[in-house]
Amino acid sequence: MSERQYLKIARVEDFKGIRFKRYTILARHVAIFKEPDGTFFATEISCKHQNADLTTGRFNGDIVTCPRHGWIYNIKTGQCLNQHSAKLRKHDLRIENGEIYISMFPISDDEDEGECS
């Protein structure tokens, strides 16, 4: 089994008053989200329909509606709620000394370790 690779991508303090920030990792569009309780998670943000940026969609809590054709996702679980679609992929996060590290590659569902604080 190979060791998962991480990239230092941000600082916790970068998220003061900010819910999410967008990044591109190996040509994949990903966002890191900060929860009200201070935990973080990272999710792919390209809509599974035609790749629209989901962070430009309408949010209602963890539910986001794609701005182009209305596919609805739970951004935290990655599940599409109104279409038969693959889930948005998640990345693992590690936080050490106020630095946020993100896994270079998406993780599979059985590797999902939940939120990171």
Give the span between the Cα atoms of 44 and 114, in whole angstroms. 15
SS3 55: helix
**Dihedral over Cα of 104, 1, 77, 72: its sign:** positive
Question: How many Cβ atoms are within 10 Å of 61's Cβ, its own excluded?
Answer: 9
* Member of 15, 25, 29, 52 binding ligand FES (CB under 6 A): 52
Binding mask 67-106 for ligand FES (x = CB under 6 A): -xxxx-----------------------------------
Query: From residue 84, how far is each of 35, 54, 60, 69, 110 by CA, in Å?
Result: 27, 17, 21, 14, 20
Size of interface with ligand FES, in residues (CB under 6 A): 9
Supply the minimum distance, in Å, between the C-beta of residue 3 and ligand FES.
34
| Min CB(66)–ligand FES separation in Å | 3
Among all chains, which residue has been given the structure tokens 């936080």? 95
* CB closer to ligand FES out of 57 and 106: 57
- Site stretch for ligand FES (CB under 6 A), options 26-34, 44-52, 86-94, 104-112: 44-52
The residues of the shown chain that bind ligand FES, judged by CB under 6 A, are 47, 49-50, 52, 66, 68-71
